[in-house]
Amino acid sequence: MSIERDEEDEKMNLSKANLSRANLFKVDLRLANLQGANLQGAILTGADLTEANLYGVDLYEANLYGAAMQRTILERAELERANLSRANLQGAILSKANLQGAILHGADLTEANLDKAILPYGWREALQAAGLIPKDDEAAPTATVSPHLK
């Protein structure tokens, strides 16, 4: 499947699209609207999703290795078992996203919003230690770890 940006239309609309298992290697989806799309198992290695709207998108087991996702909206996204290694998530909105089992090696989460996100076991503590999210005694928790992963 090949997706190309229409130069006249800055914002590509793929909301609720079924792109399950699609090969979107290095695709340019900057500013795209993918709200509610199914991207289960999709290959998005090196894709540019900068400032895209992925609200509620299903990225279960998707490969986002090295993807550019600065300021991307991933609120309520399903990212369980997704590969986000080396992804740039600076300023991304990941509030209420499910990141259980996600691979986050080398991912840049600088200034990302992880409010009430479900994080892989141990990540909450690591992010608190790095000062990226408040410690439990400083403020209300901004991220949770799934109880069955403890």
Q: Is the pLDDT of residue 6 over 90?
A: no
* CA–CA gap between residue 47 and residue 68 (Å, rounded): 6
Tell me the average pLDDT of the chain: 86
- pLDDT tens track for 49-101: 999 999 999 999 999 999 999 999 999 999 999 999 999 999 999 999 999 99
- Helix-, strand-, coil-residue percentages of the chain, each rounded to 5: 5, 20, 75
Instruction: Specify the pairing of strand 143-145 against strand 117-119.
Output: parallel
pLDDT band at 143 (very low <50, low <70, confident <90, very high): very low
Burial category of 124 from C-beta neighbours within 10 Å (exposed 0-12, middle 13-18, buried 19 and up) = buried
Percent of the chain with pLDDT over 90: 70
Domains in the chain, start-ordered, CATH in brackets? 11-150 (2.160.20.80)
